[in-house]
């Protein structure tokens, strides 16, 4: 049962709880926006915009649970967080594949990206939970997988496909590359903030959640809007 007095108390003096609440609303609004726009697109672009909506919708449901968990338990909802990511990050990899299909992207690009993202997230989860005393080691492995993803889209085969596609697809691919390089880099920073004995004393408990919540809003909604804009522009010409 939802305890409303607890939630209203939370809202007034708890910045972490506040970002969970606003994050939940923002993800819901973005999902409604993407889903309701679907009719305006032809088949070629509809799947990409649908996936944008699924990403923010899955996040909205997880944020609903995470804000409750934070309010009731008062701890980082690490498990829900990683379940959210393990569903949504592969879908973001799928978006790269979907927009590059016009240039002949093969499913092996999709699988490569999905496997790398799963490695990144599973090792990150182990470092945050089961093997928290070896956070640096697991974070390092996770970081390597992250770098390979960055390499693949900036300089690897995905970059070449984007160049071949040119035009709107190339422009959108470039922006998505910046999301992954800069927006996604907030997560390892959050991980370090949350690792005991590193910076927890400076910023206190919950700082990791504020970092993750801000990053999620930028990366899931912003990323989706880039895809939406690509679909709108491509249908114009």
Ligand X SMILES: *C/C=C(C)/C=C/C=C(C)/C=C/C1=C(C)CCCC1(C)C
H or E stretch at 49: helix 43-73
Q: Please report the sign of the dihedral spanned by the C-alpha atoms of residue 50, residue 119, residue 141, residue 194.
A: positive
Site for ligand X in 162-201 (CB under 6 A): 184, 187-188, 191
If one asks whether residue 219 binds ligand X (CB under 6 A), the answer comes out as yes
Min dist. Cβ of residue 39 to ligand X (A)? 26
Q: Is 166 exposed, middle or buried (0-12, 13-18, 19+ CB in 10 A)?
A: exposed
If one asks whether residue 20 binds ligand X (CB under 6 A), the answer comes out as no
If one asks whether residue 222 binds ligand X (CB under 6 A), the answer comes out as no
Number of residues that bind ligand X (CB under 6 A): 17
Contact pattern from residue 55 through residue 94 relative to ligand X, giving x for each residue in contact according to CB under 6 A and a dash for the rest: ------------------------------x--xx-----
Measured in whole angstroms, the distance separating CA 228 from the mean position of its chain's CA atoms is: 16
Q: Count H helices, E strands: the chain?
A: 12, 0
Contact 23, 63 (CB under 8 A): yes
Closer to ligand X by Cβ: residue 31 or 234: 31
Min dist. Cβ of residue 84 to ligand X (A)? 7
> What letter does residue 172 receive in the DSSP assignment?
H
> Which 3 state secondary structure label does DSSP give 236?
helix
Closer to ligand X by Cβ: residue 209 or 216: 216
Contact pattern from residue 114 through residue 143 relative to ligand X, giving x for each residue in contact according to CB under 6 A and a dash for the rest: ------xx--x--------------x--xx
Q: How far apart are CA 42 and CA 8, in angstroms?
A: 44
Min dist. Cβ of residue 49 to ligand X (A)? 17
Min dist. Cβ of residue 142 to ligand X (A)? 4
Closer to ligand X by Cβ: residue 91 or 103: 91
Min dist. Cβ of residue 143 to ligand X (A)? 5
**Phi/psi at 104 (nearest 5 deg)?**
95, 25
From the list 85, 143, 80, the residue with the least C-alpha distance to 114 is: 85
Contacts of 186 (CB under 8 A, 6+ apart): 211, 212, 214, 215, 218
Min dist. Cβ of residue 50 to ligand X (A)? 17
Closer to ligand X by Cβ: residue 17 or 127: 127
Closer to ligand X by Cβ: residue 17 or 124: 124
Q: How far apart are CA 90 and CA 208, in angstroms?
A: 22
Contact footprint for ligand X (CB under 6 A): 85, 88-89, 120-121, 124, 139, 142-143, 146, 184, 187-188, 191, 216, 219-220
């Amino acid at each position: 049962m939802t305890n409303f007095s607890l939630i209203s108390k939370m809202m007034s003096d708890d910045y972490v709880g506040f970002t969970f609440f606003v994050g939940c609303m923002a993800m819901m609004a973005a999902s409604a926006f993407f889903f309701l726009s679907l009719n305006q697109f032809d088949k070629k672009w509809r799947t990409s915009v649908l996936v944008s909506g699924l990403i923010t919708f899955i996040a909205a449901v997880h944020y609903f649970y995470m804000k409750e968990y934070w309010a009731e338990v008062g701890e980082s909802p690490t498990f829900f967080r990683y379940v959210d990511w393990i569903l949504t990050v592969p879908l973001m990899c799928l978006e790269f594949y979907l927009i590059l299909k016009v240039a002949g992207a093969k499913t092996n690009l999709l699988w490569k990206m999905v496997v790398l993202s799963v490695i990144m997230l599973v090792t990150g989860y182990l470092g945050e939970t089961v093997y928290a005393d070896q956070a640096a080691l697991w974070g390092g492995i996770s970081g390597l997988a992250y770098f390979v993803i960055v390499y693949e889209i900036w300089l690897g085969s995905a970059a070449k496909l984007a160049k071949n596609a040119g035009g709107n697809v190339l422009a959108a691919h470039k922006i998505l590359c910046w999301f992954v390089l800069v927006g996604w880099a907030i997560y390892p920073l959050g991980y370090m903030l949350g690792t005991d004995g590193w910076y927890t004393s400076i910023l206190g408990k919950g700082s990791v959640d504020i970092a993750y919540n801000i990053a999620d809003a930028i990366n899931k909604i912003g990323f989706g809007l880039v895809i939406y804009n690509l679909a709108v522009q491509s249908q114009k010409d």
